Every structure is written in structure tokens, then in C-alpha cells.
Amino acid sequence: MPRRARLLLPGVPLHLIQRGNNRSACFYAEEDYLFYLDNLKLQAEQHGCAVHAWCLMTNHVHLLVTPSKPERASLMMKGLGQRFVQYINRTYDRSGTLWEGRFRSCLLQEEDYVLACYRY
């Protein structure tokens, strides 16, 4: 059964959520968080996404992003996810997936929801 297509609108911010596989940890040390943030900056610039806020939890990530074009958020998350998994697998001598499927996304059309995401 095919996945539902993402609803994306130009210029509308997105709340992106990426969870660790089986809700397991994705970050093991301070350096992991720093590597993720460095690559978030790189991928956001490369794919034309404005990152407004982020929250890196032990087993998942929340991002508040406005892509310049609808498909750009997916490209950013693909590049970010791949590089981070490679880093984690190499650093901790592991293999396999880190993420629980594809990331989730929600349009942020309501001002109250945008503010709630910032507070999170």
C-alpha cells in the first residue's frame, strides 16, 4: 500500500519529527548532538530551508523549518539522516538503521501551534 503524499505549501513552516528506531537513543554523547547540528546547518543551506527552532531529544528530533520550495524539506531530511546514520554507525561500530521510518511532518498554519513548537 503506498504512503500518503505529504501536504506541503510554499512558504508555510513545517514541524518535522524524526524518531529513533523502536524509540531507541539516537544521540549517545555531546559530540553526536554537535555533529547533528553542524550537518543540519549544512543541509538546510544546501537545500534552501530556513531552520527556526530545533529540539534534540535523546531518542528523537523536532525541527521547525520553512523550505524555499515544497520538496526541499524532504531533501534536507534525507541528506541529514543519511550523514548522521553513517556518523553514528562509524563512531560506535554499529550497523543498520537508526531512524524509525521516514520523518513525520505537520504544516504550521495556526499561530498558536507555531508558538507551541517554539516553546517545546
Going along the chain from its start, the domains and CATH numbers come out as 14-119 (3.30.70.1290)
pTM as predicted: 0.86
Least confident of 5-9, 72-76, 92-96: 5-9
Angle at 31 between CA 45 and CA 72, to 5 degrees: 20
Which of 5, 3, 7, 15 is closest to 64 using CA atoms? 15
Query: Averaged over 84-93, what is the pLDDT?
Result: 97
Which of 6, 11, 4 is closest to 52 using CA atoms? 11
User: Could you tell me the pLDDT band of residue 104, with boundaries at 50, 70 and 90?
Assistant: confident
Render pLDDT for 10-50 as a digit per residue (tens, 0 to 9). Answer: 678 899 999 999 989 999 999 999 999 999 999 999 999 99
- How far apart (Å, rounded) are the C-alpha atoms in residues 57 and 53? 13
Q: What pLDDT score was predicted for residue 110? A: 60
8-state DSSP, 23: G
